[in-house]
Amino acid sequence: MNILVTGATGGIGKAIADILSGGHIIHATGRNLAVLEKYDKYIACDLKQNDDIERLGKYIIDNKIDVLVNNAGSYIYSESKKLNKEIIDNMIDVNLKAPLYLISKAIPHMQEQKWGRIINIGSISGVMGEAGASVYSASKAGLIGATKALALELAEYGITVNTINPGWVDTDMGNSSSEAGDWTKEEIIECIPQKRFVSPYEVAAMVKYLVSDDAKGVTGQSVNLCAGLSVGC
């Protein structure tokens, strides 16, 4: 099985690539070439660059990708009154436009073989909203909406489409995001019912399940993996 994971050089993406590597061919993408070279199959790309996205789209077609995991994401904490076009374009391009484009290139092969898995890594911010991260929340909410529409469109071909919405995750990005806001990490943890950040390998385990035939009836779903954050403090 050919599995492509975007943003596979660290955090959640690396955990996903690690847990799916047994018996499958992992195609890793990201910007850190030194890390990518550890994988058998890889392509270096920056999802903010149109030329790179188009190269990746061609790679998906050429390598007949069976499972597409849209994990790469961009997060910027900014009050809405301080937003500018560059910030908005950056997050919408990486978090929403790039996944949709890559999905469009993966679909024909999946339809032909009547099997495929598309898994988007969203965010609890796309479900609940996050003050100071309106564009990020909007981009992830858009991904949830696209997941539902694509699941309906592709169901008859044996293709499932789902989104996993992590809460605070114990990664470099998760920790730096907590530092960028108005609350300390300790204060954030106090607001999480389980009083902890989620491990990236918990997210990876959910991806592994959604790839499996045990999950063939799960499609169009938005799965909150957030240590209880979505149900309140």
Compute the average pLDDT of residues 201-225: 97
Q: How many residues does the chain have?
A: 233
Angle at Cα 136 formed by Cα 211 and Cα 97, nearest 5°? 60
Of 13-17, 111-115, 174-178, 207-211, give the lowest mean pLDDT range: 174-178
Distance CA 191, CA 183 (A): 11
Position 221 scores a pLDDT of 98
Is position 157 annotated as part of the catalytic site?
no
Give percent of the chain with pLDDT exceeding 70. Answer: 94
Given the residues 39, 42, 59, 136, select the one marked as catalytic. Answer: 136
- Summarize pLDDT for 19-49 with one digit per residue, the tens: 999 889 999 999 999 889 989 899 999 999 9
Strand partners, 25: 2
Q: Is the pLDDT of residue 75 over 90?
A: no
Q: Which helix (H) or strand (E) holds 104?
A: helix 98-113
The type of residue at 138 is A
pTM for this entry: 0.93
Q: What is the DSSP string of 168-208?
A: SBSSHHHHHHHHHSSS-HHHHHHTSTTSSPBPHHHHHHHHH
Mean pLDDT rounded to a whole number for the chain: 92
Q: Is the pLDDT of residue 158 over 60?
A: yes
Position 175 scores a pLDDT of 65
Compute the average pLDDT of residues 143-157: 98
Compute the average pLDDT of residues 176-181: 57
Position 154 scores a pLDDT of 98
**Domains, in order of start, for the chain:** 2-226 (3.40.50.720)
Per the CB < 8 A criterion, the answer to whether 219 and 162 are in contact is yes
- Summarize pLDDT for 91-133 with one digit per residue, the tens: 999 999 999 999 999 999 999 999 999 999 999 999 998 888 8
Per the CB < 8 A criterion, the answer to whether 27 and 50 are in contact is no
